[in-house]
Structure 1
Amino acid sequence: MTTSNPSRLGPLSYLIFSSRWLQLPLYLGLIAAQGIYVVQFLRELWHLVSTTLFHNGVDAGGVESAEATIMLTVLGLIDVVMISNLLVMVIVGGYETFVSRLRLEGHPDQPEWLSHVNATVLKVKLAMAIIGISSIHLLATFIKARNMDGETIMWQILLHLTFVVSAVALAYIDKLTQPVGRHAEAH
């Protein structure tokens, strides 16, 4: 691997190459957003604990059973975790791919996927995470289906299927664009 010496670059090339650092505030903002998701997770967890221990689990209208309320709250917690995982993939993978190396080789906590991340792998992983998040939302919709109109449910199913088809298409394109032999090494 060759490393370029910044002094060898012309001023315009150096400016263009250095512009990748403008993404740093974006990644720092995503880290702040992840902190907000931690607060949201703790609030939803507290709501689950307090509802389960101190109330009968029925909402103000008396419509949902205790089991449905607990299940919807747990799905909300899972949703927050999956979105947080998505943020980690974007922050770590995006920074490593587009800004600068993290130099985590040999670190015991280095994510396995980071060693072979590139823009295409990141897109496929993000698509799979989005499908997982969409699945959680769809499951919550099915639990609340009797209180929802059919058109809303239909659009949520179509949106979820669109995510699935998009992810399959991205994975297929990735497979088609891989050099011969790389597929066996990557998996």
Structure 2
Amino acid sequence: MKKVEHAVEAGIFNSRWALAPFFIGLICSIFVLLSGFARELWHLLTHFTTLSETDTILGILALVDMTLLANLLIIIIFSGYESFVSKLDISNHEDKPGWMGKVGFSTLKVKLISSIVAISGIDLLRTYMQLDNDSTISLEIVQWKLMIHGVFVISGLLFSVMDYLTSKSGNNH
């Protein structure tokens, strides 16, 4: 019976590797995002003399938005892989980011919601800047975006408070 228990436990433990394809998929999505970034940058570079100030700012905000999303994906890939699959054996690598190996699941949740709030804020700013130029943006759309952004902000604050209280209680699981 002990052998069966050990085999089941080994199977459960090794099942964490089923997550590896998800992280590989996220890496592929960074390259998809990079192609969108390159297209937007190319558009800005080739049309900068004809773009209005608002269109230039909107283009730059789109680049910032994609950069934040790519950073978020990197954090999720590295910390998720290290938290749930296996440690990355790069401790002696000269380019190892300082946060690697220090971002646990709790910190990851706070970073995730912070990035979502930033991305939502940029989208809201883009919507605001397009109000004069785009008649398809209704007041109802703006209100929904404001409410959703507010929910993200409140969720981020609650996650931060929960993380703070958990760390103070000494229960870091």
Residue 180 of structure 1 deviates from its aligned partner by: 5.1
Residue 97 of structure 1 deviates from its aligned partner by: 0.6
List aligned pairs for 1:16-95, cutoff 5 A.
Answer: 16-53=12-49, 56-57=50-51, 66-95=52-81
Deviations 1:131-182 (A, max 9, x none): 1111110110110123321110011011111111101111111111115579
Deviations 1:111-150 (A, max 9, x none): 2222322111110011111111111101101101233211
- In the alignment, structure 2 segments of 5+ residues that lack a partner are none
1:170 aligns with one of 130, 150, 159 = 159
The sequence identity of aligned pairs, in percent, is 36
Moved over 3 A (4+): 179-183
- In the alignment, structure 1 segments of 5+ residues that lack a partner are 1-6, 58-65
Q: Which residue of structure 2 aligns with residue 139 of structure 1?
A: 125
Aligned length: 166
2:115 aligns with one of 108, 126, 129 = 129
- TM-score normalised to structure 2 length: 0.89
Q: Which residue of structure 1 aligns with residue 139 of structure 2?
A: 150
Structure 2 CA distance, aligned partners of 1:133 and 1:47?
A: 21
Structure 2 CA distance, aligned partners of 1:180 and 1:24?
A: 33
Higher RCO (CA 8 Å, separation ≥ 6 residues):
2
2:10 aligns with one of 9, 14, 25 = 14
Conservation of the 8 A alpha-carbon contact between 1:128 and 1:167? yes
Identify the range of structure 1 (138-147 vs 18-27) with the bigger mean alpha-carbon deviation: 138-147
- TM-score normalised to structure 1 length: 0.83
When the two chains are superposed, the root-mean-square deviation of aligned CA atoms in Å is 2.0
